[in-house]
Structure 1
């Protein structure tokens, strides 16, 4: 597998020179500075590629070209944004970047409730606490009809959490959920967040799937013509949030997307952490079933808590999934197809000097380096023994 590293551009606190020292060969990045739904100037793509190559690395995956909210809601004129998306794909392909990761999560991208959850060893991890999320939904956001999304036990737990929270805790939770995490497409205030949720009032799982299919009908032919691959990312967490439908959360969801088109450009980002947060998802089986269509891998592990809807990021070879089994399946796919799959160690604990310096939440230097080293060891061992 092609060892890669996510980099958020020239403003990333981890410079390309340091990334090269990790042993990674590929860079996963995007033009994060361009607002959602706008053209990516080809000159800017070229300049970013050349900057990466000057550091001795390769831009191997674009993560992501954001999918505009009007595309997801099917708002009048959404096709214009799909055409802009397709043109950005063309420009990337002309610069030799043909693996495009994207997601179709409504309104919010990946969501956490705590960016610095203390573990017993002193490391800091990302966490999603379902009760804190429910308390925010019910008592801070005060979403219309929110009570219908929860059981009586959920409501009681959320009310208790809220009663014990002070204003700084609530402000921090609000910022964490809606202010936009790294790579997120948007950030919101409470009022703009409510307005965005309202745009989905007439959307359910079936209609969102139909809209994804309509979007792919426009962009897949362009990807085919350019020899590009589109790698949809799973929902994170893999469940409906704030009354919004999510359609990339289970193996059945992935199978439904797989059935949309026989195009070789259609494919998946296998994010073991996103899918692994849901206990019924068998990651090894998913890798085996969809292997030829897995064009990109995010390798990380999560540990589900007493309430299995809550989880925190674990060490890369720990957590509630068979990481070695997943890597074995992906390496098998590579042997059978002859195509190398880019992978990156996703997220990472803040450890050692990461604790003393600024880093992008979820993307510290040493925590990810530890994950990459562990995953590299797995790959080398499996290769050596011929598994």
Structure 2
């Protein structure tokens, strides 16, 4: 197959500053687009999905910015949510989310267009005793309804549906499910669906337009290490655990199976290295270009490392073993680290990489002040896929 896009080259991404300018009260703590897609609209404008918190961290909102990247006049919308019919409660809002229980806060949204079947919005929901990955559906791409908040796509170890006996068997001592009982109407989480967060999900293209959509999902998971191990990092917020990447597949986007490990640090790599997430871009020749959340938990700094897969995402090559975009890349906006969005996008003869820049270490012990995070842009004429 002839590769129709610019040829591979070990090039550097170029910084282009802020992609979304914080302007709203609910964005005070900062903006993050970790796992979030960027969608070109034409005329130089983009639709950028993101999430934001208030300074007191009592509220978290999914936001959508539409306009020119970096413009303070970009149109911004909150995804208005309700436990009932959000569209009825907020008839004038452009984006709504219905059937999300009161007090559940959505983060890390992933918007997908399902060929011939509308739209889906996946996100992690947070509340006391609740850390689970949910799916909402929409026919028009604006008004979404959660399929079933009590039967999740994935569960975090903190969630109340995760059996304590399963946690004890793995030596896990997380707080989230110790003081919140699972209600009788809610099933226990399947052990194979218990993961960390940092989840990306994709529709697998099919040459047959009438074929049912298939899905692949990449998510961070944790494996325990003993206290005497070099990989036990006391400074981390999950001391005693190493983050790795697992892949799942699904025929309906709601029930995932075929879980397998696809990325983990090699034994000869620095003991503080972990993998915080994996963003995947499918290339025209069938290969996948990956951006790994390269996490040095000994320094609490996150970066982006490139990876390639030639076999549908089952195995990944890491040609550099070091970041391709590192902390401090975009002035002071990402001085303490960065994380990738959902994928990189080829548009207007360039590759666009929207990512989150951190102004704090992962454990928040060092900070450059507010906002703690921003959505930034890097561009390149070529993609480093050698």
The TM-score with structure 1 as length reference comes to 0.34
User: Which has more helix, going by share of residues?
Assistant: 1
The structure with the largest strand share of the pair is 2
